Chain A
Amino acid sequence: MTLPFILFFVLALTAIGGALLLILAREPIHSALSLILVMMSLAGLYLMLGAEFVAAVQIIVYAGAIMVLFVFVIMLLNAGVEERTEYSKIAKYVGIPLGLLLLLDLAHGMAHSLMGRAPANGAGSANVMVSTRDLSLQLFQKYLFPFEATSILILIAILGALVLAKRDE
C-alpha cells in the first residue's frame, strides 16, 4: 500500500460514508452536513486526479454556495424530523433487487470501460497535471458559446427563483 492508495481509500470511504449518512439521517440538516462531507472528499479526489482548479470550484461553489442555500432553506422552513410513511410492496420486493442490479451493472461497466484503450492510465500518467491556463483557454475558445449560454441560463434561474419565491400581494 503506497501513499496514493491509502489517501484514495480514506477519501473514498469518507465519501461513501457521507452518502450513507445522507440516506440514514432523519433530520434534513444532518443530511445536508453529510452531503458537504461527500463534496469535500470529492474535492480531495479531484486534487489526486490532477484537476486542482475543479477541486477549488467544487469547494467554493458546491460546498460553499449551493449547500449554504440548502442549509438556509432548511433553517427558513424549520424542517424537522422526516415522517416515515408506508412504502408500497413493489418498491420493497422489486425495487431493491433492481436497484442493486443497476448499481452492480454500473460499477462493472465503469470498471471495464477503460480496458485496453487508456493511454494515460497507469505509470506514465503521474505528470499529467492539468494547468488552469489550458483549462481556461479551452473554456473561452472551444466552448465559448456554451459558456455564454450558461450565463443566460443563470439569469433565467435567478428570475425564476425570484418570481417563484415572491409572496403574492
Chain B
Amino acid sequence: MSVVPVSYYLVLSAILFGLGVVAFVFKRNIITILMAIELMLNAVNLAFVAFARAWAQLDGLVFVFFVIVVAAAEAAVGLAIVIRIYQNRQTLNIERVNLLKF
C-alpha cells in the first residue's frame, strides 16, 4: 500500500491559503473576513503537520497547538470588536466602516 506524498498535502495547503486570501479580499461582511483569516490559519496548520511528518519532527505539531490557541484568542477579541462595531454603526459591511479610510 503506497503512501500519499507529503508534497500533495503542501499543495493543498497552498491552495487553501490562496482561497483564504481571496475570501479575505473579496468578502464584504466583517464576520466572513474573520472566517477567511481562520481559513488561512488552517492552511498554515496543514503545512506545519505535513512538514512535521516529512522530517519526523514533533516541533511542527507543537506549533499547531500554538496557532490554534492564538486563533482562539483572535476570534474572541475580533468578534467582540465586531459586536462593538455593530452597536455603534448598525452595519456589518466593511465598506461602511470607513472612518479611517483615505
- A residues near B (Cβ < 8 Å) are 2-5, 8, 12, 15-16, 19-20, 22-23, 28, 31-32, 35, 38-39, 42, 45-46, 48-51, 53-54, 57-58, 61-62, 65-66, 69-70, 73-74, 76-77, 79, 82-85, 87, 91, 95, 99, 102-103, 106-107, 109-114, 118-123, 125-126, 128, 130, 134-135, 138-139, 142-143, 146, 150, 153-154, 156-158, 160-162, 164-165, 167
Contact = CB atoms under 8 A, between A and B. Distances in A.
Interface residues of B, number: 74
B86 A150 contact: no
13 contacts: A23-B19, A32-B31, A49-B6, A49-B9, A57-B64, A58-B68, A62-B38, A62-B42, A77-B31, A82-B27, A82-B28, A111-B11, A113-B7
A87 to B, nearest CB: 8
B97 interface: no
Given A28-B31, A85-B93, A70 B75 contact: yes
